[in-house]
A = this chain, B = another copy of it.
Amino acid sequence: MATIKDIANKLGVSVSTVSKGLNGAKDISDSLRQAVLDTAVELGYTSKKIKSLEDGAICIFVENMKIDSEDAFGYDIVLGFRQAAFRSSYDIVVEEIDPEFQEAHRFESYILEKGYRAAFLVGFALQDPWMEQLQDTTVPTVLLDNFIPMNPRVSFVGTDSEEGIDMAISHLVSLGHEKIAFLDGSKDSMISDQRMRAYLRSISHHHLPLDPSLAVYGYFVADAAHYHVPSFMDMGATAIVCGNDDIARGVIDSCRDLGFSVPEDVSVIGFDDMPFAARLNPPLTTIRQNRLELGKCAFMVLQTLMEGVSLSKNLLRPSLTMRASTAMAKPRVMVRRTDSKDSVLHVNPRLYEETLKEQQQS
């Protein structure tokens, strides 16, 4: 377990400065105190001041998400939550569970059994057994990227997809792109739905032509990018926005297989800014979800819920991380054509027509 000396070494300050930071002494700056506290959590330092288990710990339930290394999506989310909680001296427990576990234990009974006072759920899907039980739980609960209507004890925390997608489209428009395709994630996900709506609105907002064959959901097709990129290129797309960085990685590979260079022939933008995004070839321009901030924000929302204030939806600002996968648009000659588009899962016609109408009337 980390000692005060470890924290001092990592920060390059004296042991007494670390002590001051941990004890809330007034003669060090706010930002230094914050750095001391954050580093303490990162290194696993446990203070005597942590509230005992009798007061009830807060449990972070993780499903279907890696949290074990700095490269994992959930690592910073859990770290940010712990860092924010440490300042308020809450004890935090992390449990990795699966749908079978949820079948075997009712959410509220399990919370009671373990004596938890509140919960933060990350990586859950809408069809998970606990999601339905959350509709009437009285346990203060924060969900990452999932929303439960009407229950005042449950809050949603996520990144503002609408602003993020608009940042991506605006960046491409500023580079002269007009034919911008969107390869989204799974059709069943709330987040994919939000990003698709955001894409349609932003395209319309920039007075670009809306073309439903440029906006598709990718998840159900095993290798989404290889399936869709050829038809995007046939349609003359000069840029492809992706529902996340994994999809973008596949899109870059597909472009290369088809003989197109990224970003010379086609620009590619991801969503998330996963650690691997910087190491792709070319390094990926992407919309950043600040996962450390998401974790901190989740704790702050949970603390507010525990004080009896019923927050509903809380969105974090995204930002654009500009790397080398986007460049000025270059007119492109059509190079190939295929006809095998029968099972492509296009944008919902309703969404498309709504936005088209909006565009015509604005």
Q: Is A293 an interface residue (CB 8 A)?
A: yes
Contact A317 B307, CB 8 Å, known A150-B163, A354-B357: no
Q: How far is the CA of A341 from the CA of B54 in the complex (A)?
A: 66
Q: How far is the CA of A163 from the CA of B312 in the complex (A)?
A: 9
B-contact 0/1 string along A292-325, CB 8 Å cutoff: 0100110010011001111111111101000000
Chain B residue with minimal CB distance to A314?
B314
A311 cross-chain contacts in B, Cβ below 8 A: 297, 314-317
Q: How far is the CA of A310 from the CA of B293 in the complex (A)?
A: 8
A166 cross-chain contacts in B, Cβ below 8 A: 149
Q: How far is the CA of A316 from the CA of B307 in the complex (A)?
A: 13
Q: Is A234 an interface residue (CB 8 A)?
A: no
* Closest Cβ–Cβ distance, residue A294 to chain B (whole Å): 9
Find A304's partner among B297, B308, B357, B358 (CB 8 Å cutoff): B297
Q: Is A69 an interface residue (CB 8 A)?
A: no
The reply to whether B152 and A319 contact each other, CB–CB distance below 8 Å, is yes
Find A314's partner among B34, B150, B313, B319 (CB 8 Å cutoff): B313
List A332-352 residues whose CB lies under 8 Å from chain B. 349-350
A319 cross-chain contacts in B, Cβ below 8 A: 152
List A140-168 residues whose CB lies under 8 Å from chain B. 149-150, 152, 160, 163, 166-167
The reply to whether B357 and A317 contact each other, CB–CB distance below 8 Å, is no
Interface residues of A, count at CB 8 A = 35
Q: Is A353 an interface residue (CB 8 A)?
A: yes
A213 cross-chain contacts in B, Cβ below 8 A: none
Q: How far is the CA of A325 from the CA of B230 in the complex (A)?
A: 60
A296 cross-chain contacts in B, Cβ below 8 A: 304, 307, 309
A362 cross-chain contacts in B, Cβ below 8 A: 350
Find A317's partner among B163, B293, B312, B316 (CB 8 Å cutoff): B312
The reply to whether B350 and A357 contact each other, CB–CB distance below 8 Å, is yes
A109 cross-chain contacts in B, Cβ below 8 A: none
Q: How far is the CA of A316 from the CA of B163 in the complex (A)?
A: 20
* Closest Cβ–Cβ distance, residue A133 to chain B (whole Å): 19
Q: Is A290 an interface residue (CB 8 A)?
A: yes
Contact A315 B316, CB 8 Å, known A149-B163, A357-B354, A358-B350: no
Q: Is A361 an interface residue (CB 8 A)?
A: yes
The reply to whether A312 and B160 contact each other, CB–CB distance below 8 Å, is yes
B-contact 0/1 string along A88-103, CB 8 Å cutoff: 0000000000000000
Can you report 16 residue pairs joining A to B where beta carbons are below 8 Å apart? A149-B163, A152-B319, A163-B312, A293-B308, A296-B304, A296-B309, A297-B309, A297-B311, A300-B303, A310-B316, A311-B316, A312-B317, A314-B315, A354-B354, A354-B358, A357-B357
| 14 additional contacts (CB under 8 A) given A290-B310, A310-B317 | A34-B307, A149-B166, A150-B163, A150-B317, A296-B307, A297-B309, A300-B300, A300-B303, A311-B317, A314-B314, A349-B361, A350-B358, A350-B362, A357-B357
Q: Which residues of A contact B (CB under 8 A)?
A: 34, 149-150, 152, 160, 163, 166-167, 290, 293, 296-297, 300, 303-304, 307-317, 319, 349-350, 353-354, 357-358, 361-362
